[in-house]
């Protein structure tokens, strides 16, 4: 992308309304524009980031055997009356009337809709396990939307819903998502620490929040350092519906949960000290980016989502749901990865993986070389952002750092004279020169 042909409205000043650094940087680096309280326009650069995150989530959901569909944002109130939640949900639910005076709502979550899909088509235990997910906008009329996309009213969520014939099956479906989440967050350059969460009406041990660590997090967290060490992105996890797969998942799940991690709400200091040796105890703050639940027959029973069981008897499906805050993750990643100059994108997330800075736009030699290197990068399958604006060098450096492009190359008349270009690492700010002739080799290395 050439910057002169792109739409990247960066701001020089830090907007006053933004309290936390991710919100400030998202406004300054041209990712979002507020439309109304807690509702945002995703500008082109922000949209690219959102799509990167979405794609990693999608790949890992598919890999774990979940199947994507797309449910509507507008839901009929009648489904929610069936489950009993229409009256319970309260003011967070945005209720709407259509021209026929029928009650609609903007979905805050989709248990009812997916249960309705299930009961329409699924008849037999042989069709299970089944896990359906979608990545769709939700609306919750939060009383205090704040921190930009971290607590919005309209936000993008990945929500998956599992259906099983019995609790054993449901536990396995839960473990699949649990393990897929560990991989998902690590692939984004984050550590998603699973914390025991309040299980709500069902009770039991099957609810976890996935928290990523960041100093501005809303909750205090206590955890074993082991959660920062284990490599999940490269772990071989067997997601097949075989006995070996199920056994491996159970072992991994139990192993992960042997240690200790809890938010301040659920924290038990005596247990923490008993389970974790002092040198491994960690305390910090975190941001909830995912939440998974097992809730059994809570929706299948009132909504009649029954299937024929192996013994020829009708049984209610056992369900769980698994959420990830896709749009919240954009803010959370920035909270976890920035410095005084701006965003530092993890390489898996960055929309552009190579910045090209032309120190003297308009100079025939500089322009020609930049064009050439830009083409080479494109042909090599890279996503370069070429700053070809007629701007001061200082402004170009500042913009590239603000928007967080991980690797930046600088081309200027003096370098050309010496046959070199400069390469900078965004994170470490380390610079080195390489011969122009070696650019292609360097790019491929």
| Closest separation in Å from C-beta 66 to ligand 5CA | 12
Stretch that binds ligand 5CA, among 116-124, 180-188, 324-332, 435-443 (CB under 6 A): 324-332
| Closest separation in Å from C-beta 144 to ligand 5CA | 10
Q: Which of 65, 148, 152, 355 is the binder for ligand 5CA (CB under 6 A)?
A: 152
CA distances from 383 to 146, 202, 352 (A): 33, 47, 5
DSSP annotation of 15 reads P
Q: Tell the burial category of 389 from Cβ atoms under 10 Å away from its Cβ (0-12, 13-18, 19+).
A: middle
CA neighbor of 127 nearest in space, from 67, 171, 186, 177? 67
Q: Does 291 bind ligand 5CA (CB under 6 A)?
A: yes
Stretch that binds ligand 5CA, among 121-129, 271-279, 286-294, 354-362 (CB under 6 A): 286-294
Contacts of 50 (CB under 8 A, 6+ apart): 42, 156, 326, 327, 330
Q: Does 397 bind ligand 5CA (CB under 6 A)?
A: no
Whichever of 252 and 330 has its CB closer to ligand 5CA, that residue is 330
Residue closest to ligand 5CA, measured at CB: 325
Q: Does 217 bind ligand 5CA (CB under 6 A)?
A: no
| Closest separation in Å from C-beta 160 to ligand 5CA | 7
Structure-token pair, residue 409: 């190359």
Q: Which of 30, 107, 129, 323 is the binder for ligand 5CA (CB under 6 A)?
A: 323
Whichever of 140 and 249 has its CB closer to ligand 5CA, that residue is 140
CB 133 within 8 A of CB 69: yes
**Strand (E) positions, 345-430?**
354-358, 384-387, 407-411, 420-425
**Which phi and psi (to 5°) does residue 191 adopt?**
-115, 115
Characterize the bridge pairing of strands 407-411 and 354-358: parallel
Q: Which of 50, 289, 359, 416 is the binder for ligand 5CA (CB under 6 A)?
A: 289
In which residue are the tokens 């736009």 written?
Answer: 361
Q: Which of 48, 151, 230, 281 is the binder for ligand 5CA (CB under 6 A)?
A: 151
Whichever of 169 and 323 has its CB closer to ligand 5CA, that residue is 323
Whichever of 160 and 165 has its CB closer to ligand 5CA, that residue is 160
Q: Does 296 bind ligand 5CA (CB under 6 A)?
A: no
Paired strand residues for 203: none
Which positions from 19 through 58 interact with ligand 5CA, judged by CB under 6 A? none
Q: Does 321 bind ligand 5CA (CB under 6 A)?
A: yes
Q: Does 109 bind ligand 5CA (CB under 6 A)?
A: yes
Q: Which long-range contacts (CB under 8 A, 24 or more apart) does 377-382 make?
A: 377/443, 380/440, 380/443, 380/444, 382/353, 382/354, 382/443
The binding site for ligand 5CA (CB under 6 A) comprises 109, 140, 142, 151-152, 155, 157, 159, 288-291, 321-323, 325, 327-328
């Amino acid at each position: 992308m050439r910057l002169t042909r792109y739409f990247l409205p960066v701001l020089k000043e830090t907007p006053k309304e933004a309290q936390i650094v991710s919100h400030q940087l998202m406004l300054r680096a041209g990712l979002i524009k507020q439309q109304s309280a807690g509702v945002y326009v995703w500008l082109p650069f922000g949209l690219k980031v959102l799509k990167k995150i979405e794609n990693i989530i999608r790949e890992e959901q598919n890999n774990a055997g979940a199947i994507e569909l797309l449910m509507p944002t507008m839901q009929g109130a009648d489904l929610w009356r069936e489950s009993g939640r229409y009256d319970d949900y309260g003011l967070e639910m945005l209720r709407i009337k259509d021209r026929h005076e029928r009650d609609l709502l903007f979905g805050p979550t989709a248990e009812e809709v997916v249960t309705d899909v299930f009961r329409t088509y699924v008849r037999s235990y042989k069709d299970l396990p089944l896990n359906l997910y979608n990545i769709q906008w939700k609306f919750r009329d939060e009383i205090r939307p704040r921190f930009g996309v971290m607590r919005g009213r309209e936000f993008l969520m990945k929500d998956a819903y599992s259906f099983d014939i019995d609790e054993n099956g449901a536990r396995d479906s839960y473990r699949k998502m649990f393990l897929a989440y560990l991989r998902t967050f690590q692939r984004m350059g984050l550590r998603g620490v699973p914390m025991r969460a309040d299980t709500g009406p069902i009770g039991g041990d099957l609810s976890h929040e996935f928290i990523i660590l960041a100093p501005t997090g809303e909750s205090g967290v206590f955890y074993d350092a082991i959660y920062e060490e284990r490599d999940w992105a490269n772990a071989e996890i067997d997601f097949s519906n075989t006995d070996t797969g199920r056994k491996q998942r159970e072992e991994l799940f139990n192993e992960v949960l042997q240690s200790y991690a809890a938010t301040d709400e659920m924290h038990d200091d005596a247990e923490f000290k008993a389970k974790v040796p002092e040198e491994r105890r960690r305390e910090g703050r975190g941001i909830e980016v995912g939440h998974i639940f097992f809730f059994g027959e809570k929706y299948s029973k009132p909504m009649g989502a029954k299937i024929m069981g192996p013994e020829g008897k009708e049984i209610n499906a056992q369900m769980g749901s698994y959420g990830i805050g896709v749009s919240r993750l954009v803010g959370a990643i920035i909270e976890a990865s920035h410095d005084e100059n701006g965003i530092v994108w993890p390489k898996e997330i960055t929309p552009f993986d190579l910045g090209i800075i032309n120190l003297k736009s308009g100079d025939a030699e500089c322009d020609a070389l930049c064009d050439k290197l830009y083409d080479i990068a494109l042909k090599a399958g890279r996503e370069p952002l070429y700053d070809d604006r007629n701007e001061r060098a200082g402004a170009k450096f500042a913009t590239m750092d603000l928007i967080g492009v991980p690797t930046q190359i600088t081309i200027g008349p003096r370098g050309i004279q010496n046959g070199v270009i400069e390469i900078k690492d965004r994170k470490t700010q380390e610079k080195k020169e390489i011969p122009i002739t070696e650019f292609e080799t360097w790019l491929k290395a």
